Amino acid sequence: MRATPALRRLLPALFLMRAVGEAAAPAAALPDLSTVPADLEVPVARAVAPAPGVRSVMTTAGWAGPAVRHTLYLPTDWAPGKRYPVLVEYAGNGGYRNAFGDVSEGTVEGARLGYGISGGRGFIWLCLPFVELGATGPANAIRWWGDVAESKRYCLATVREVVARWGGDERAVVFCGFSRGAIAANYFGLHDDEIARVWRAFICHSHYDGVSERWPYAGADRVSALARLRRLGDRPQWISHEGSVAPIADWLRRTGVAGRWTFADIPFRNHSPDWTLRDLPARRELRAWLQDVLRP
């Protein structure tokens, strides 16, 4: 049985906890997302020119496509000369499928968290790759980080291009990710001071840097994760997880870092970002949180 949520605010403006259960129900005991009809359908990514309501597959200047590519979605209310906040999404690891039918392809085309967050309006939605370097040149990495330096170079160049060409607001760039992408919020987004400066806020769904030291990459240890976390400063993070977010909240409490964290349990069994494609209380709360943190 789930415990009654015990914490709402620990420190004003620093630590907000919503529905963080002290004990999580077994995954199989929770309802499946398929029991709630989706009210959003993610646009198919196509190799077409950017336009309002279109999701385009593109390659940033300086890289040879299509082995390296990203997707760019301009909102339906996009107009030249206006500025829009930018959701920069990183997908989960590819090759994932569980007993509930949840699938992660690890591709930029398969990412969907940002579209669920925005509903297709008011935000530019950018899905970026981790870039690996191979014998035949750079390519999108389906699992983990690829080459971090090259991934960072592609990220910074693409964000600059979106700001310059498509009206992205450089003061309102939000990191968002699911699973691998959620770990990446700190592992990659706070990897060093240069890339850490890009982000206004962070949305992390399912997993978090430092919670497990068993993930198979260098720097998964908690000492390294804590060094990255300290680059966060006072920028807010939304942190959610299927079932219970309590293990993440516990890890962050024990770091001694005072952060502006909002925690949300997603009361479904699915390891998936697809809860954002449904009219659920958590999605409404996430959208309200995002509007609040983007206010000047």
Taking only the tens place, the pLDDT of each residue in 100-127 is 999 999 999 999 999 999 999 999 999 9
| CA–CA distance, 56 with 244 (Å, rounded to integer) | 35
Asked, for residue 4, whether it belongs to a domain, the answer is: no
Whether 90 is covered by a domain: the verdict is yes
Q: Which residues have a Cβ under 8 Å from the Cβ of 60 and sit 6 or more positions away?
A: 68, 70, 154, 157, 158, 161
pLDDT tens-digit series, residues 49-92:
999 999 999 999 999 878 999 999 999 999 999 999 999 999 99
Rounded Cα gap, residues 47 and 36, in angstroms: 32
- Would residue 252 count as lying in a domain? yes
Say how far apart CA 114 and CA 161 lie, in whole Å.
Answer: 19
The pLDDT value recorded for residue 107 is 98
Q: Which pTM value belongs to this model?
A: 0.91
Residue type, position 151, single letter: S
Backbone angles phi, psi at 73, to 5 degrees: -120, 125
Which of these, 145, 105, 108, lies nearest to 125 by C-alpha position?
108
CATH number, domain containing residue 181? 3.40.50.1820
Number of domains in the chain: 1
Strand partners, 74: 52
Q: Is residue 194 part of a domain?
A: yes
Tell me the CA distances in angstroms from 17 to 83, 195, 260, one per residue in order: 32, 27, 10
The pLDDT tens digits of the residues spanning 235-280 come to 999 999 999 999 999 999 999 999 999 999 999 999 999 999 999 9
Domain that holds residue 86: 9-293
